[in-house]
Amino acid sequence: MKVSFSCSIIFFLFLIFNVHASNSSIDNFIQCLPTKSSPANPISKAIFTPNNPSFLPILQTYIRDSRFNTSSTPKPLAIITALDVSHVQATILCAKANNVEIRIRSGGHDFEGLSYVAQVPFVILDMFNLRSIDIDMASETAWIQAGATLGELYYKIASMSKTLAFPAGVCLTLGAGGHFSGGGYGVMLRQFGLSIDNIIDAQVVDANGRVLDRQAMGEDLFWAIRGGGGASFCVILSWKINLVRILDTVTVFNVPRTLEQGATDVVLQWQQVATILDKNLFIRVQPQVQFLQGGNKTVQVSFIGSYLGRCQTLVPLINKNFPILGLKTSDCLEMPWVKTHLFWNNLPQTTPIEVLLQRAPTPPHNFQKHKSDYVKTPIPRVGLEAIWKKMMEIETVLMQWNPYGGRMSEIPENATAFPHRSGNLFKMQYITQWQDGSEQSLIKNIQATRDLHDTFTPYVSSNPRETFLNYRDIDIGTNVNGNLSFAMDFFKDNVNRLLQVKAKVDPTNFFKYEQSIPILSSQQ
């Protein structure tokens, strides 16, 4: 009993010491901030602590997953909503001096909440105020700050040109900082590649508080932040992007087929042709469970496409190379590029384009779990039938199968840190969403997503089982004790160069989170 009592006293004193140390660190951190930032732009307006009435609203505004918006979710000790570059520098320098961990958030679309949740005392550096977009029409380039959303970028481009665009995602509230640094995936990738394939410069703040552009940071770091995730190495301030030229008309379509209408046969042919069709054509396969009368259910597969051209050209192209789809002129919608973002977000075409400027998703996201996979050889009929069966058991899952080919097959895997290039037929995203916030529902739905993921095992890439960094999935592992298995899934053979860059630019491992590139003991 004496031993037990003594241990309890020691543990209690340990807790008291750590709480005191934590409070002391955060107090010193807050006091440090004005001394390291520009007096011309007072940082006091950007500091929010839990005793500030705006603290919770600011924290919750950019939480996109209700799993991480509960009373029990760990909260930051402070949020710094940077209004000036010097505020970013001050946050880094003061956090480093006081041993305070930071999490960096731009848009908040982090499927595991790692950009705003931590299991250790931490602060959030929130970039949403740094959102300027400057377009140079003469050079057809633009500088976009990390906190700007894709919707804001698309709106700004469209306000200046009908024939310029940028290849990035269809989710309008994604922040450019995180979206681009993970690769930047969108429906124009078969023609123009990823966002990172069209980035020509960047501004970052490193672990020493220095503002660096491409020339100053060097090609190794510039390589790493394009697909390797900026939060492992630095804070992304802004990106310089090359805009791309397109026709003034884009054609979109959505052709749904249920299993009873031969969806499986259409998917089988889609796998054979989707990557070799015209580069201007992108056809997503989107399977989900459809509920029928009488309590029955089936799987409906939607074939959702975007073509950089007119319908009169698209229909014969599809009917020649993908005849089983049966695309008709009446299935087509022609529109300016900017309006395709209404289509991809299931908004009526009469919706004012100003909706692109909304920074919160509509409707807001519920509880969700995401996973991803890459497919290199067509999934046979028996595999598809097993997948449909498992989906109908789960009910709440939606899948998106996105074709590769075109430009993606032309860019070497080591050209950027993003390695998933040639050899892939398509990338899959698993999306499970539910509204019941109970622990039982959480466990049930996450396990169901994992079960479906297991069903795909025989049909997807292996050794490593490739996965997409921006479809954050904590299931694949963390960097505890220098573990690198998760990094192989994300980055394949690019891991070694990423480790070298990390050791060079951030040797003290200041920029870290559960799935950041670690510093290995052999590098120290």
- Which residues form the catalytic set? 471
In angstroms, what CA-CA distances link 266 with 105, 302, 311, 374?
Answer: 40, 10, 21, 20
Phi and psi dihedrals of 217, rounded to 5?
Answer: -80, -25
Can you tell me the distance from the alpha carbon of 3 to that of 512, in angstroms, rounded to the nearest whole number?
38
Beta-carbon contacts of 313 under 8 Å, excluding residues fewer than 6 positions away, are 307
Can you tell me the distance from the alpha carbon of 244 to that of 158, in angstroms, rounded to the nearest whole number?
12
Which one, of 449, 419, 405, 379, lies nearest residue 277 by Cα? 405
If one counts every other C-beta atom within 10 angstroms of the C-beta of residue 409, the result is: 15
Would you state the structure tokens that stand for residue 469, as one six-digit string?
């960094």
Can you tell me the distance from the alpha carbon of 171 to that of 166, in angstroms, rounded to the nearest whole number?
14
Long-range CB pairs of 138-144, under 8 A, 24+ apart, other chains included:
140/164, 140/242, 140/243, 140/245, 141/200, 141/240, 141/241, 141/242, 141/243, 142/166, 142/240, 142/241, 142/243, 143/238, 143/239, 143/240, 143/241, 144/176, 144/238, 144/239, 144/241
Can you tell me the distance from the alpha carbon of 385 to that of 373, in angstroms, rounded to the nearest whole number?
18
Q: Are the C-beta atoms of 106 and 176 separated by less than 8 Å?
A: yes
